[in-house]
Amino acid sequence: MGNFILGRLLQAVLTLFVVSLFIFLLVRLTGDPKQVLLPIEASIEQYAQLEKALGLDDPLPEQYVRWVGKMLVGDFGTSSSRQIAVSQLLRERFPNTLMLAGSGFFLAIAVGLPLGVLSAAHRGRGTDVSARVFAILGQSMPSFWLGIMLLMLFPVRLGVLPAGGKSGWTSIILPAVTLGWFSTASLLRLTRSTMMETLSSDYVKLARIKGLSERTVIWKHAFKNAALPVLTLASLLLFGLITGTIIAETVFAWPGMGSLVLSAVVNRDFVVVQALVIVISAMYIFGNLTVDILYAFLNPRIRYG
């Protein structure tokens, strides 16, 4: 187990290294980094200042180590469009993104799992058919379009629920649904297929023969065993949630890190873009690591695979 964790940890660090190297080299090799890092209207003094701060004349490895070193101690530079430290922006935005991603995740678990189980238990009947339609739609609807349609229906047409921003607990409903539907759908489909496999196994038959109630058979005996493969989906869910927060935040002007990245792209505020990309990537990569370790912990076969 120790070796497995160590190996996966090394791989996570390596992945983060590749991402940071990609960003670093992209800025320095595709032209003048000063032009990328500074806004168009920057003064000559700002150019000189930046050149000194980055040490652009030093060899590339030295520059890279300095850049990473600064980020490790929490110095991400200063936003050129907002004139405040990026680390402060991060502190403001991070909890909001976490809250939104958490709600999306909660929605997926709270709706996807039980619907998947019910769908398998009532195979071919009304519940199953409607759950599958719900899932197919969820996997095929672009979330940005879903968000806009919700926006048009609720705040614009019906005048209920806030249209954007963060104000009171109702403002999270629409972004969370936009974000969570896709993950809910994937979770539902996987739960359904693993449940169906489990329900046709011998020990479930035995439990039925013993005369246990259908509810006990499904939830106590079958569901517990079907839940493990569902964990494999967690990393995919994570990907959907990361990509999804960027979109949901943009559509609903939710003040999180995703909408910050996009507005920084529009303002050509590259310092903010690169800092956020590194931070979100790190979250994603270490989230994946946690899922892998958790899965290996629960399923010993993986560790020696």
Partner 1 sequence: MAEIAAPRGADWVEPPAGSPAVPSRRWWLRRPPIIPTLPMIMIGIIFFAAIFASVIAPFSPTKNHLFDSFTAPWGWEGGSSTYILGTDFLGRDIFSRIIHGARISLTIAGLVILIGASVGTLVGIVAGYFGGLLDSILMRIADLVLGIPLILVAIVLVTVTGASVGNIIFIVSAFVWPRYARIIRSETLSLREQDFVMLARVAGISSRRIMLRHILPNVVSTLIVLCTLQVGQVVLLESALSFLGVGIPPPKPSWGIMVADGRTNLTSGWWISLTPGLAIVVLVVSFNLVGDWLRDRLDPRLQRY
Q: Where are the alpha helices (DSSP H) in 112-222?
A: 113-121, 126-140, 143-151, 173-199, 202-209, 214-215
Residue 291: φ, ψ to 5°: -60, -45
40 close to 238: Cβ distance less than 8 angstroms: no
Residue among 266, 301, 304, 305 that touches partner 1 (CB under 8 A): 266
SS3 at position 78: strand
- Contact between 186 and partner 1 by CB under 8 A: the answer reads no
Residue 34: which of 22, 21, 46, 19 has the closest Cα? 46
User: What's the rounded Cα separation, in Å, for the pair 223 and 291?
Assistant: 20
- Smallest separation (angstroms) from partner 1 to the CB of 16: 9
- Smallest separation (angstroms) from partner 1 to the CB of 247: 6
Residue among 85, 231, 262, 302 that touches partner 1 (CB under 8 A): 262
DSSP 8-state symbol, 141: S
Q: Site map for partner 1, 227-246, x if CB under 8 A?
A: --x--x------x--xx--x
Residue 26: which of 294, 278, 290, 284 has the closest Cα? 278
- Smallest separation (angstroms) from partner 1 to the CB of 57: 21
- Smallest separation (angstroms) from partner 1 to the CB of 213: 26
Residue among 150, 281, 291, 296 that touches partner 1 (CB under 8 A): 281
- C-alpha triplet 273, 277, 283: angle, nearest 5°: 150
- Contact between 191 and partner 1 by CB under 8 A: the answer reads no
Residue among 26, 53, 206, 294 that touches partner 1 (CB under 8 A): 26
User: What's the rounded Cα separation, in Å, for the pair 70 and 63?
Assistant: 11
Residue among 2, 3, 30, 59 that touches partner 1 (CB under 8 A): 30
Residue 128: both structure tokens together: 């199953």
- Contact between 111 and partner 1 by CB under 8 A: the answer reads no
How many other C-beta atoms lie within 10 A of the C-beta of residue 161?
14
User: What's the rounded Cα separation, in Å, for the pair 198 and 219?
Assistant: 11
β-bridge mates for residue 78, sequence order: 85
- Smallest separation (angstroms) from partner 1 to the CB of 90: 15
- Smallest separation (angstroms) from partner 1 to the CB of 137: 8
- Contact between 134 and partner 1 by CB under 8 A: the answer reads no
- Contact between 67 and partner 1 by CB under 8 A: the answer reads no
- Contact between 291 and partner 1 by CB under 8 A: the answer reads no
- Contact between 81 and partner 1 by CB under 8 A: the answer reads no
- Contact between 120 and partner 1 by CB under 8 A: the answer reads no
26 close to 18: Cβ distance less than 8 angstroms: no
- Contact between 13 and partner 1 by CB under 8 A: the answer reads no
Residue among 137, 160, 228, 294 that touches partner 1 (CB under 8 A): 137
Task: Kindly tell me which of 48 and 156 has the beta carbon lying closer to partner 1.
Answer: 156
Residue among 145, 160, 224, 228 that touches partner 1 (CB under 8 A): 145
Cα 271 to chain centroid, rounded: 22
Task: Kindly tell me which of 106 and 145 has the beta carbon lying closer to partner 1.
Answer: 145
Residue among 148, 173, 212, 231 that touches partner 1 (CB under 8 A): 148
Number of H helices, E strands in the chain: 16, 0
